[in-house]
Every structure is written in C-alpha cells, then in structure tokens.
Amino acid sequence: MIAKSFAFALLVAAPAALMAKGTSDRASDDRGAALFAYHCAACHGEGPGHPGTQALDYRDKGAAPALLTRRGDIPEELVAYAIRNGVNAMPYFRKTEISDADIRAIAAFLRHPSVARPSDRNGQGAR
C-alpha cells in the first residue's frame, strides 16, 4: 500500500516539478532579458549605433556573431569579469549598479542564443 502511494505521489509530483522548473527557467530568462535590455542593449544591441556590437564585429570579422544574444558560448565568468572590470571602452559596473545575482541572470540569458529577441530588435541586423 505504501509503495502504491509513493508511486502515485511520484507520478503526480514529478510532472509538476518539471513544469515548475521550466517556469522558473523562463522567469529567469525573462529577468535576464530585462536586465540585458536595461543595462547592456544600448551598447550591445542590434544594428548601427551600438558600439559594443560594432567593436565585436570588427574584432571577430564574422568568425562569431557580434550580437551577444546570438552567441551562446560566453562563459558566466567572462560575463562577470567584463561587467565588473570593463573591457576596452566598456565601463565597469559596481555591485550597487548590477548585483552578482543580476550578472548570473544576464549570463544565463546569454547562454540561450536566439535568432531574434525583443531586446535586440531595434534596427538593422548585426551578425
């Protein structure tokens, strides 16, 4: 009887847990997208007039997408380093501006590349 109850509980709880995880991932991605749009897209958005995207396009010469939201290969440690220390002309951001949790959310968002995301649809396409 206990085994049947346990099995039933697993059948009921497992899908709910998986759905909750998916919801949590989506919420985290949404939070990361919002943070990216607020803190990063002005320089790392799509199209002309975004110096971060233009600098990456010039540096990589098409070997990798210049648009960060289309990469998916940037380690969280590199995102954190760039945000905390700045890179070339990119300014650094203090913990009072972008928390460590916010950095993790941005990094998680960038790990899931997309062909077009709302945060980078504001002009002509970058690679």
Please write the tens of the pLDDT for every residue from 12-23.
343 344 344 444
Banded pLDDT at 102 (limits 50, 70, 90): very high
* Half-sphere exposure (Cβ direction) of 118: Cα atoms closer than 13 Å: 8
Angle between helices 100-110 and 2-39 (to 10 degrees): 100
Q: What is the pLDDT of residues 44-81, one digit of tens each?
A: 999 889 999 999 999 999 899 999 999 999 999 999 99
Residue 103 confidence (pLDDT)? 97
Tokens (6 digits) for 51: 């110096």
Q: Are 47 and 122 in contact (CB under 8 A)?
A: yes
Hey, which CATH number is domain 29-120, 3.40.640.10, 3.40.120.10, 3.30.9.30, 1.10.760.10? 1.10.760.10
Q: What angle do CA 52, 55, 58 make, to 5 degrees?
A: 150
Percent of the chain with pLDDT over 90: 59
Q: What angle do CA 86, 100, 40 make, to 5 degrees?
A: 50
* Half-sphere exposure (Cβ direction) of 10: Cα atoms closer than 13 Å: 6
